[in-house]
Amino acid sequence: MNTPVIRGANGEELVPFRSRLAPLLFMTAIFLFNFLARFIWGPLLVPIEEDLGISHTGAGSLFFLMTLGYMAGLLVSGFISRKVSHPKTIGYSCVSCGLVLLGAIFSHSLWSLAAALFLIGLSTGIYLPSAIPTLTYNLAPGDYGKAYSFHEISPSLCFIIGPMLAEVMLGRYAWQAVLVPVAAGIILLGVTYLLRPITGRIYGEAPSMKSVARVLSERRYWFLLVIFMLGAGANVGVYAMLPLYLQAGRGLDQTTANTLLSMSRVAAIFSPFAVGWATDRFGPGRVLAAIVFLNGAATATLGAGSELLFRGALFVQPMLSTAFFPPIWTILSDIVDPRSRNLGVSLVVPPAFIMGGGVLPTLIGAFGDAGMFSAGFVLWGVVTLASFGLVRYTLRR
């Protein structure tokens, strides 16, 4: 007797997780370069400030402009994937991002660099709404947490490779040269993906009044939005300003700062795997509650006066910040129809990254200009700790 074939939302046959491991690793490589394109700039802020003569606040505001572009990319992604499919959207995102990075090499003023960063945000922003439904293609819902955990090792790898790449190249070249290998890598991956996509021709859903209202009417969406803001701030917002904080706020030289930053992210490579397993085993809500509490404490401790406490938080905080996302994506996959997951991503990520990836670096930079660099990290940690009550209340409901 034949075993019945189980199919997913797009008509694909569901398969064991191990058979999708190679495609997941390829998507992880794409996400790594997508992240590098946006966050290689953290280790470059000091030479950029010296080259362009800008303040700490001005340096932080560059991330705000890139986040605005990223938000725009997320919002238009559905229109693109509806017309050309998710696979082509991912490929076009990679190639266009690489071309803009090459253009950024010729930026010799604040305004030209700001325009390049906006376009980098725009080109990388169209990737994620197509990536989330692609990651779970052919997989049963019980494997979603593990799939997302593979994808989420990319930010940690980026935060290790980025400072190391900057340290190696800045000793010989100007900061613009650091962008060349990142641009070459993401273009190569994009062209490869366009030639050999890992899914069928699955399409996204463009925003409409009806579809947006359907997502916004879900109460868990608003809960998810708040938690995503905390996760984006703890992960990308804190990382963006740490190189500057280590040098200007803690008095470390460039080599020591970049080495510490890379070392602190090694353990964070493995935390998404543990969290992905725990999410599938215990449920995303309980796991997320623990992460919010512990991350708030660790982020606040980054501003501690004690060098021992600070060094401890520097290594613990990255493990907890990367742990936010497997349970978040699992919850999102549960509350949004499978064919509309790209729309769910487009609605939850932009405001979260505006706050966590744009406002927070600018705020920390302003604290730095006022001679109170550490206070910016303490403030974000306290806000995260205060949100633990929201998580517990939502879980009880």
- Could you count the other beta carbons within 10 Å of the beta carbon of residue 151? 25
For residues 94 and 75, which has the higher predicted lDDT (pLDDT)?
Answer: 94
Our CA dihedral for 67, 179, 248, 53, rounded to 10 degrees, sits at -80
Three-state secondary-structure class, residue 7: strand
Tokens of 355: 């706050």
pTM, two decimal places? 0.74
- Could you count the other beta carbons within 10 Å of the beta carbon of residue 140? 13
In DSSP notation, 362-393 reads HHHHHHHHTT-HHHHHHHHHHHHHHTHHHHHH
Tokens of 104: 């950024």
Our CA dihedral for 149, 271, 352, 55, rounded to 10 degrees, sits at -130
Tokens of 211: 């579809």
| Residue 396 near residue 285 (C-beta atoms within 8 A) | no
pLDDT in tens, 131-180: 888 888 877 777 777 788 788 788 778 878 888 888 888 888 888 899 99
Residue extents of the structural domains in the chain: 17-396
Q: Alpha-carbon distance 366 to 269, whole Å?
A: 31
Domain 17-396 belongs to what architecture?
A: Up-down Bundle (1.20)
| Residue 30 near residue 189 (C-beta atoms within 8 A) | yes
Three-state secondary-structure class, residue 10: coil
Per-residue pLDDT, 1: 44
Q: What is the mean pLDDT of the chain?
A: 81
- Could you count the other beta carbons within 10 Å of the beta carbon of residue 340? 20
Tokens of 238: 């804190």
pLDDT in tens, 99-127: 999 998 887 777 888 889 999 999 999 99
pLDDT in tens, 185-211: 999 999 999 998 877 778 777 777 787
Q: Alpha-carbon distance 6 to 26, whole Å?
A: 25
In DSSP notation, 67-94 reads HHHHHHHHHHHHHHHHHH-HHHHHHHHH
CA angle 280, 284, 289 (to 5 degrees): 140
